[in-house]
Amino acid sequence: MAMILIAEDEPTLADMLGQFLKNKGHLVTIAEDGAQMIVKAKEIKPDAIVADVMMPGTYGTSAYKTLQEDSSTKGIPVLFLTAITPEQATALIPEAPGVKVMHKPAEPAEFVAAVESLL
C-alpha cells in the first residue's frame, strides 16, 4: 500500500483515477492544481505523484520542478498524465529517473500498472 498524490484539475477524472488506485489498496490524496500539488506533497510526502501537465495557475511540470528543488520532496516519482501531443510532452516534461508520461485517455489497468511501476 502506497500514498499517491493525484494533481488533476478535472474533479471527475481525479476521483476516477483515485478510485482505480484505491481498488488496488493504495491511499490517495487529491490536489486540484499545481500549487496544491506542491503544498500537499510537502505535507504528506507521497510515494508517487500523478500529475496533469496543464492545470490552472501552476502547471504540473512547474510544480514538479519546484518539488525537485526541495530536499524533502526531491526524487518523488511522477507519472504525468496528459492530453497534450507527444511532441508537446517531449518539450515540457523533463526526462529524468522516476518520471513517466501517459497520454489521456488511459486504460485503467495500464494506468495502475504505470503508477505501481514507479513505486
Q: Are 119 and 79 in contact (CB under 8 A)?
A: no
For residue 19, pLDDT over 90 is answered with: yes
pLDDT of residue 73: 96
| Cell triple for 1 | 500500500
Q: Mean pLDDT across the stretch 81-102?
A: 88
CATH architecture of 3-118: 3-Layer(aba) Sandwich (3.40)
What DSSP letter does each residue of 19-71 carry, written as one string? Answer: HHHHTTT-EEEEESSHHHHHHHHHHH--SEEEEESS-SSS-HHHHHHHHHTST
If we measure between CA atoms, which residue out of 1, 110, 101 comes closest to residue 46?
1
Q: Residue 76 has what pLDDT?
A: 97
The domain segmentation of the chain, as residue ranges, is 3-118
pLDDT band at 43; cut points 50, 70, 90: very high
**pLDDT tier at 112, thresholds 50, 70, 90:** very high
Residue 104 has pLDDT above 90, yes or no: no
* pTM across the whole model: 0.94
pLDDT band at 17 (very low <50, low <70, confident <90, very high): very high
